[in-house]
Amino acid sequence: MKRTLILITLALACTALSAQSQKFPGLDPSPLDVAFFPGNSANAEFRGPRVEAKIKLYYSRPQLKDRELSKLVPDGKMWRFGANEASEITFYSDVTVGNKTVKAGTYAVFIDVKGNNWDFVLHSKLNTWGNFLMDGSQEVARVAGAISTNSDSVEALSVAFKEVDGGAHMVVGWGNTIAEMPIKF
């Protein structure tokens, strides 16, 4: 009986130590999000006929937190578009971005900020943290984004797609800035 009690105590102690040794990182302050075009393609089978996705974008949502957008997205510098790992966009068929045909596939998204102009840049280098490893030879397409201002400030970087004649626009909102990347199908 004494031996059984000692073994049970040791087993419980080992279990408690192993449970305490596992440490998890804190929650990321810039949560991962996803946007689809058409917008209902991810959950269409629950709401009606299946709608095939044409575009999917994974991005992290940084927040302003009382900071100026110009400090987070500095003029004259390439921005990884989002936070953490560079955002990635998947096209499920060939598209046209700017005047370039872009093959179906997945690309990193960057924004080249030049004053009040935002150039959207698609890059073939995936799985990158920021834009530190960018090589111009891996640039796939570049297009000037239409910029407008919003009277309501958007705290967390937000993305939605809107349908337009012949394609879609990826609409980016952050702070009082709205930028649109045109995509043609």
**DSSP label at residue 129:** B
Instruction: Look at 21 and 72; give whichever has higher pLDDT.
Output: 72
The dihedrals phi and psi of 51, each to the nearest 5 degrees, come to -115, 120
Which residue has 């045109």 as its token pair?
A: 182
Highest mean pLDDT among 32-41, 76-85, 144-153: 144-153
Q: What is the mean pLDDT of residues 179-184?
A: 96
Strand, coil or helix: 4: helix
Structure confidence by residue, pLDDT tens digits, 5-40: 554 555 555 555 455 567 777 777 778 899 989 876
C-alpha distances in Å from residue 176, one per residue of 13, 19, 64, 143:
56, 46, 11, 21
* Residue spans per domain, the chain: 28-144
Say what the alpha-carbon torsion angle 90, 91, 95, 99 is, to the nearest 10 degrees. Answer: 0
The Cα–Cα gap between 138 and 125 comes to: 7
Q: What is the average pLDDT value for the chain, to the nearest integer?
A: 84
